[in-house]
Chains A and B, each alone.
Chain A
Amino acid sequence: MAALVAGVETPTRSRLPRRHLVGGRLLNHCLLGLVGLVTLVAVLAPLLAPHDAVGTSGQLYAGIGSPGHPLGTDGIGRDLLSRTLLGLRTSWLMALAVVALGLLVGGIVGLLAGAFGGWLDAVLMRVTDLFLALPGTLVAVAVAAALGSGLGNTFLAISVVWWPYYARIVRGEVRALAVRPHVEAARMAGVSTPRIILRHLLPGVVPSAVVTASLDVGSVVLVLASLSFLGLGQSAPAPELGADTSRALPELLTHWWIPVIPGVTVMLLSLVANLGGDAVRDLIARRGR
């Protein structure tokens, strides 16, 4: 949904000086490298974490930089670095999964609607519009509350509201592609419909779908953190960035780092995702010229 902002802004991007820098391409690759690094950290988090994320040590309220606990410990002596790493793992991998699933479902819906047109198009797009017109995050809150706590349920709750925008984008692109000469030529030559969809329509849709999706990861990270903050994630001892902030709020004025560290981690994840999304857009735009 945040991609709507980005989509509208695309034309003005070319005026930014970054594109004219000699190192622009290098910068973009560095940003993508950063995304890869975060993904690697997320995957390897259980190995990287120095302590058990739910187990307690004797040291309560250790400050940042304490020996053995670089980010300190919380009120019952759990190591904050380990909790943050595992929370990051959940947030990041789930955000990627939500966007991937949204892209898959929205992509299929949009592809079918755009390629076949007619009543199928009308029905699929009306359903999509309905989903787009409902307040997504609120519906996700209700879905997560109805299903109860748990990782899978949160994932489902966000995925349910996250595909319609992709369906719109893909459908629009497919409609535009379907009237292009190469598709018409293929049709005249007697190529079967599935083959036209897979070989002639799908490849043309991929760039804009990928750009939209990559710009969305940051928003998903934020929505996930909000749901978790409201208590709609995994239940208590599991390390989760939003919930860890929310549970430590009463300690904000006395031990600020306990709620702030997971919150800042969410912010960094979303920042990396946004920069990575920008880089993907820039690289794809360059290749297109």
Chain B
Amino acid sequence: MLSFLIRRLSVVVPTFLAIAFLTFVAIRLVPGDPIEVRTGERGIAPERLALLRHELGLDRPVVVQFLDYLRGLAHGDFGVSISTKEPVLREFFTLFPATLELALAAMLFAVILGVPIGVVAALKRGTVLDYALMGTALAGFSMPIFWWGLLLILFFSVDLGWTPVSGRIDLLYYFEPVTGFMLIDSLLSDQDGAFLSALAHLVLPTIVLGTIPLATIARMTRSAMLEVLSEDYVRTARAKGMPPFRVVGIHALRNALIPVVTVIGLQTGMLMGGAVLTEHIFAWPGIGSWLIESIERRDYPVLQGGILLVSGLVILINLMVDLAYGALNPRIRHGR
């Protein structure tokens, strides 16, 4: 197991360094100097520009800047945002819970609906119900989620007035974040209606972000279920008179879920991409909105640190999924 871990790490660490280097170099190529962008059309005196560039270290050779950057990373210093003057790492951890809360809610939504849909479709294989469910799933899988979000806003927020259009909670409520999860914090705050407000704000973004994972999980569960249902042990269980519910729930589903769990693990990266769009539509103050704004402001350190942190997270989750499989399945551990 230790050699497996070392082998995986020998891939992961260079990957991370390569991303650090590439984001660093690439972002230097972005057109537009951050200082010129900030001063806008008023212009700036050349000597003041030189002074500001010197203060930010932008006048040193790129290699020196990169080594400096790496030294900082080793100490947990991901740079300082040019526009807010806050450390990038602190901004990331302030906003990350918002994205995490949304992503977890979306995943929960996708699993709770997706697995039963897949099971029902598999059990009713070839019926109208199967075709209807799988047709809907393929439509969900093909959905431009930014448009889907606008449609949901149009219907539920504008026409019906059921849900708010943007943000995480009504401006009416204010409390200091404790966990960063609005649902938990609103409960802790003891303010009447705060929790319901937070919940109402979460519903539409959850549906939007969860739609594609939901469709993927439903399709995956169906095909895994179909495969398992034709196995000998399922037939044996049926033959010995076990009630259908137990056959499906205990014998079949448990084994069918193995590939499904893999898919759930692989969805992390997709979920981060979807979060960018979802947060943009609903003005959700998370990592996605933060990164998009950093592009508009030419905030190099935020973009660079943000991408690095997000990729680091994806790499870490994939590594954990890998290790979990390695622990469970010796063939993977000793393979290659």
State whether these chains interact: no
* Residues of A that sit less than 8 Å from B by CB: none
